[in-house]
């Protein structure tokens, strides 16, 4: 009881296959055999070669198929009964996916999660800034919008808003279990939201009604964040210019939006600021080679920069 289907070209035969989230928290793949026939299905697995186990998010897995890091390969973002978001990055190919590990999306206080249970994620550029955002349904018939304050290939989510329809918070009655999907349903050039519910009904939110009025207009790039050297090893100097005095947050993130270290979290006077980063996390552990994201936030401004650590 309880399945959540998505369709995708999961292999190289050009036929649409079915990927299903299940009530027990696993994810199953049904290969399209043609002539409207599908095989008996197999569990998608995660782990190193020779040590794979079925993907399992606990219970009530919901599936979003997305190229999280824009590397040309489909990744999996899964919701769960616990309300968290579980990211499985594809280390195989677009038509032969393989998952070696997973991580939970991170927010300011730890694991990113909806306020209630049964997270159901969808990824789409909802605010038109060129970076995909996170939209989530829940157990109580509401919808949650997490604007991406990172980059399209390195999302960062640090606050959420209730989705509104006609200036009223969207809320289906009696624990309706919203499950959103973004599409241009009426072919008018605007993104619409379709959402299913526990009561076997489908609801349409026409394009433009999903964006809350109180999403702040942050100015990006004004702080002129730079890193030198970049790529770097073992350290780099981060510099930026504050147009006005105020509290500053300067933090390092990984590709899943997990905050690895806060370099600044204090009041600073207007003017140029310089901070050195030695490639270590908050525990003092030296990070491995890879791409990281530095984000600076100050009053109504923010800026981002990719950092490449080479060893």
d(CA 149, CA 131): 8
Regions of the chain where pLDDT drops below 70: 1, 109, 166-167, 175, 208-221, 256-257
Angstrom distances, CA of residue 278 to CA of 232, 252, 253, 261, 285: 9, 11, 14, 11, 10
| Predicted pLDDT of residue 293 | 85
Closest Cα partner for 272 from 241, 235, 234?
Answer: 241
Contact (CB, 8 A) for 301 and 218:
yes
- The pLDDT tens digits of the residues spanning 113-152 come to 998 999 999 999 988 888 999 999 999 889 999 999 888 9
| Predicted pLDDT of residue 154 | 87
| Predicted pLDDT of residue 221 | 61
d(CA 79, CA 176): 16
| Predicted pLDDT of residue 56 | 97
| Predicted pLDDT of residue 212 | 47
Question: What would the DSSP string read from start to end of 4-35?
Answer: EEEEE--SSSSPPEEEEEETTS-EEEE-EEET
| Predicted pLDDT of residue 210 | 47
What own/partner pairs with CB < 8 Å and gap ≥ 24 does 287-292 have?
Answer: 287/260, 290/254, 290/255, 291/154, 291/255, 292/252, 292/253, 292/254, 292/255, 292/260
Contact (CB, 8 A) for 292 and 212:
no
d(CA 178, CA 172): 8
């Amino acid at each position: 009881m309880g399945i959540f289907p998505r369709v995708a070209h999961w292999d190289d035969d050009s036929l649409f296959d079915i990927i299903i989230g299940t009530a027990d928290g696993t994810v199953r793949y049904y290969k399209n055999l043609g002539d409207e026939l599908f095989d008996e299905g197999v569990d998608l697995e995660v782990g190193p070669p020779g040590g794979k186990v079925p993907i399992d998010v606990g219970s009530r897995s919901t599936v979003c198929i997305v190229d999280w890091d824009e590397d040309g390969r489909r990744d999996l973002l899964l919701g769960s009964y616990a309300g968290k978001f579980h990211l499985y990055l594809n280390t195989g190919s677009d038509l032969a996916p393989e998952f070696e590990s997973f991580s939970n999306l991170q927010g300011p206080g730890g694991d990113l999660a909806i306020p209630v249970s049964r997270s159901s994620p969808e990824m789409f550029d909802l605010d038109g800034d060129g970076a995909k955002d996170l939209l989530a349904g829940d157990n109580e018939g509401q919808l949650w919008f997490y604007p991406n304050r990172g980059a399209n290939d390195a999302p960062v989510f640090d606050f959420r808003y209730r989705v509104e329809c006609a200036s009223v918070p969207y809320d289906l009655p009696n624990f309706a279990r919203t499950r959103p999907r973004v599409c241009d349903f009426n072919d008018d050039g605007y993104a619409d939201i379709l959402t299913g519910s526990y009561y076997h009904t489908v609801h349409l939110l026409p394009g433009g009604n999903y964006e809350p009025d109180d999403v702040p207009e942050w100015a990006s790039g004004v702080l002129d964040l730079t890193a030198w050297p970049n790529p770097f090893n073992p350290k780099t100097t981060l510099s930026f210019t504050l147009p006005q005095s105020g509290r500053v947050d300067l933090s390092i993130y990984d590709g899943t939006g997990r905050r690895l270290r806060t370099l600044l979290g204090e009041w600073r006077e207007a003017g140029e600021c310089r901070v050195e980063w030695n490639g270590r996390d908050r525990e003092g552990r030296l990070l491995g080679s890879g791409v990281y994201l530095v984000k600076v936030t100050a009053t109504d401004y923010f800026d981002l920069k990719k950092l490449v650590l080479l060893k």
